Structures are given as structure tokens and as C-alpha cells.
């Protein structure tokens, strides 16, 4: 499902090269969960951005669902990227939209008709246990609730891959456990391939 072969990413600033990802190789089979653990600044988020095509490798290869996205033009990468959902550390919810509106956003962007969109939003809010908070705005939700909305939004278009970039680092230990349990359910019930980026070893 995901394969990196000697992936390297470096940046040149003021004539000096900084290496963010250095000679990384691994395989993630369809339906697996991979945790990438490392300290802050180790290049974990850059690695996630290489997988979803938001960054391009300096050298090496990145295959996503059989497609080597290294060197592909952006329009081709966008097609591959549609199969990947992202969950972020800071939730990245739209403050002006309700929980339901946030989950509906990628469906609206993908052109889903309203009736189908509404049904999918209700299904996902129920899945993450927040159907009763559908009309709440982000500032009316706890951190754990915001992250569950973020997970529902990431799942909206049925992605084959879910990237969780430090998705629990802003949460307390109990809420972290709840979110990780939810991710296990996503993997088990939908067969979603999940890459978890974290600095928390446990």
C-alpha cells in the first residue's frame, strides 16, 4: 500500500543543506497500522508529507497504492492524494462550521449530492460517537471531541490510507487512549491502512 525506498528529503537554506529525512525505507501492507516514533524535529511530519505528496523527495522513491509519486506532476499527485485522509495535531477544524459542516466539507468539495452527503455525515458522526453534537461549533467541543470530528472528516470520502500526524499530542492520556481505540476500530471495521506519527513511545 505504501512503500518508501531510500527516501531522502533535504532543504538548502542560505547555501547550507539541512537533511530532514535520510535514507528511509519501509513497506506498509494494505490494512496494516504503522507507528513512526521519534523525538520532535526528527523529520516525522516531513515523512508524512512525503507520503501524501505535499513534499517531494530529494532522492529515492515513494509508492502509494502502486504509484511512484516521486517526480509526478502536481495534478497527478492530487489524484493519488484523494485516497489519503489526514488527521492533525491541532485539529484544523473550520471554526465557522458546525461539527456536521466540518465533516461535510470534503464531500461537498468532491461534489457529493446533498442527500448522500447528509447520510454520510450522520453515519460518520455516529461512528465517532458524536451524532448528538452535529450542530455544535468547534469552540463548544472538548479537545477529544474535536479530534474525533477530525477523524470523521478524514474518513468522509472513504480513503484507503489514514495519516495521523501527532494526532494525540494535544490530548490528555485518557482522551489519547480513546482516540487510539477509535483508530483501531477504523482499521478493523473499514480495513483502512493507518500511519501514526508520534513522539509518544507508549
What local confidence, expressed as pLDDT, does residue 104 receive? 96
What local confidence, expressed as pLDDT, does residue 34 receive? 94
What local confidence, expressed as pLDDT, does residue 40 receive? 83
Instruction: Report the side by side order of strands in the sheet with 193-198.
Output: 33-37, 193-198, 161-165, 84-88
What local confidence, expressed as pLDDT, does residue 200 receive? 75
DSSP assignment letter at 133: G
For CA atoms 84, 11, 69, 59, the dihedral sign is negative
- How far does Cα 187 stand from its chain's mean position? 13
CA distances, 114 to each of 31, 149, 190 (Å): 30, 19, 23
Across the chain, mean pLDDT equals 92
What local confidence, expressed as pLDDT, does residue 123 receive? 95
pLDDT exceeding 70 applies to what percent of the chain?
A: 100
pLDDT higher than 80, residue 170:
no
- How far does Cα 109 stand from its chain's mean position? 17
Q: Going by C-beta distance under 8 Å and a sequence separation of 6 or more, which residues neighbour residue 152?
A: 103, 121, 124, 125, 127, 128, 130
| Cα–Cα distance for residue pair 54/56, rounded to 1 Å | 7
Q: Are 61 and 5 in contact (CB under 8 A)?
A: yes
| Residue 60: other Cβ atoms inside 10 A | 18
Which domains, ranges and CATH numbers included, belong to the chain? 2-198 (3.40.50.300)
Give the mean model confidence (pLDDT) for residues 181-185.
Answer: 91
pLDDT higher than 80, residue 102:
yes
Give the mean model confidence (pLDDT) for residues 71-86.
Answer: 89
| Weakest-pLDDT range from 6-15, 97-106, 114-123, 161-170 | 161-170
Question: How are beta strands 67-68 and 59-64 bridged, if at all?
Answer: antiparallel
Torsion angles phi and psi, residue 179, rounded to 5: -65, -40
pLDDT exceeding 90 applies to what percent of the chain?
A: 69
Whether pTM exceeds 0.85: yes
Amino acid at each position: 500500500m505504501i512503500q518508501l525506498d531510500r527516501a531522502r528529503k533535504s532543504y538548502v537554506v542560505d547555501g547550507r543543506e539541512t537533511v530532514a529525512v535520510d535514507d528511509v525505507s519501509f513497506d506498509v501492507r494494505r490494512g496494516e497500522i504503522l507507528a513512526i516514533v521519534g523525538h520532535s524535529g526528527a523529520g516525522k511530519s516531513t515523512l508524512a508529507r512525503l507520503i501524501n505528496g505535499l513534499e517531494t523527495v530529494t532522492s529515492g522513491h515513494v509508492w502509494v497504492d502502486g504509484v511512484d509519486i516521486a517526480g509526478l506532476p502536481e495534478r497527478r499527485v492530487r489524484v493519488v492524494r484523494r485516497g489519503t485522509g489526514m488527521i492533525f495535531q491541532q485539529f484544523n477544524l473550520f471554526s465557522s462550521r458546525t461539527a456536521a459542516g466540518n465533516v461535510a466539507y470534503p464531500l461537498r468539495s468532491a461534489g457529493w449530492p446533498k442527500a448522500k452527503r447528509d447520510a454520510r455525515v450522520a453515519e460518520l458522526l455516529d461512528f465517532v460517537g458524536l451524532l448528538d453534537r452535529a450542530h455544535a461549533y468547534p469552540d463548544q467541543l472538548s479537545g477529544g471531541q474535536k479530534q474525533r470530528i477530525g477523524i470523521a472528516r478524514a474518513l468522509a470520502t472513504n480513503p484507503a490510507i489514514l495519516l495521523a500526524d501527532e494526532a494525540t499530542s494535544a490530548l490528555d492520556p485518557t482522551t489519547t487512549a480513546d482516540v487510539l481505540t477509535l483508530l483501531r476500530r477504523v482499521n478493523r471495521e473499514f480495513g483502512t491502512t493507518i500511519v501514526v506519527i508520534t513522539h509518544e513511545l507508549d
